[in-house]
Amino acid sequence: MISLLKPNTFCSYMQPIRVTKNQWNRLIANPMVLDDKAAAPLMIFGSMAEYVELDNESGKPRCTGANIDELYALQVDVDNGTSMEEFERDFHRYSYQLWTTYSWHNGKEGDRFRAVFPLKERIKVKWLEGPVKKYLMSLFPMADQTCFDRGHWQVLPCVQSRDKDYRYVQHQGELLSFASENFEQMWEEYREDFHWKREIAEADRDPSANHTGALNYVQKVFDETVEGSRDRTVFSKLMWLQSLGCTYNEVICLRPPMGFENEYIAKVNRVYGCR
């Protein structure tokens, strides 16, 4: 599989790397020995975006979430004292690989470990915000919540010496799946709501501004609205335009969703009190 590699903590660029299943299994069973954790390479189990921003110095893709397209594994960091046994019990249903961190000391500081859950369906990195991120945080409340940020890098298995305490687990189960959650729809609704709030904030800052941007945005939404969501979408957008101070004449001139022409006039009249 192709993954993304960041050579060390302070490196500003990333590069694709092919890792076989056997290579990965060997790495977990025989972690790298390093004097300095900062020298350890970091990895994201995902694919690079088609168009990427390049690092000025190296000319290679920058280590930024915008440069990552999809994830095919969910990477989880646990540092809050949750025991590995508890974690294994809670997630015994799924396939995962788990290993202790560079700074883990058995019986002294509690369990600190990293886990990787292969995914049944890939997820877009751009979805990792708003309700999607909150859902993942609720599924893994024991994890460092930055795990679910865009572009979260995970240090590969490494130890300070060969006689250092180290544990790993390779558990077989079903692949973790989020298909039923419809992350794409959750993200699109979140972004739509975010856009509204930004438009409202801009209008509040400048009450004298015209409504061209808001009207153009709503027209784009209407053009993309499909049957089954037209009624709710049209009504919510009309209420929003009215809250911005758009006039009846401005709103009635918008092109309604296809097949919703008569209903649109009735909704505009209702929102503007012209029944």
Return mean pLDDT, the chain.
87
Q: What are the Cα distances from residue 147, in Å, to 84, 131, 137, 141? A: 18, 15, 9, 11
129: Cβ–Cβ under 8 A, 6 or more apart, which residues?
Answer: 150, 187, 190
Q: How confident is the model at residue 92 (pLDDT cuts 50, 70, 90)?
A: very high
Q: In the chain, what percentage of residues exceed pLDDT 70?
A: 91
pLDDT at 210: 66
Which spans in 140-229 are helix H?
183-205, 212-224
pTM of the model: 0.72
Segment 220-260, tens digit of pLDDT = 888 888 777 788 888 888 888 888 888 888 898 899 888 88
Q: How confident is the model at residue 275 (pLDDT cuts 50, 70, 90)?
A: low
Q: How confident is the model at residue 207 (pLDDT cuts 50, 70, 90)?
A: very low
Domain residue ranges of the chain, discontinuous segments joined by +: 2-177, 185-271
Segment 62-86, tens digit of pLDDT = 999 889 999 999 999 998 778 899 9
Q: In the chain, what percentage of residues exceed pLDDT 90?
A: 48
C-alpha 108: how far from chain center:
34
Residue 11 has pLDDT above 80, yes or no: yes
- Mean pLDDT throughout 178-204? 74
Residue 1 has pLDDT above 80, yes or no: no
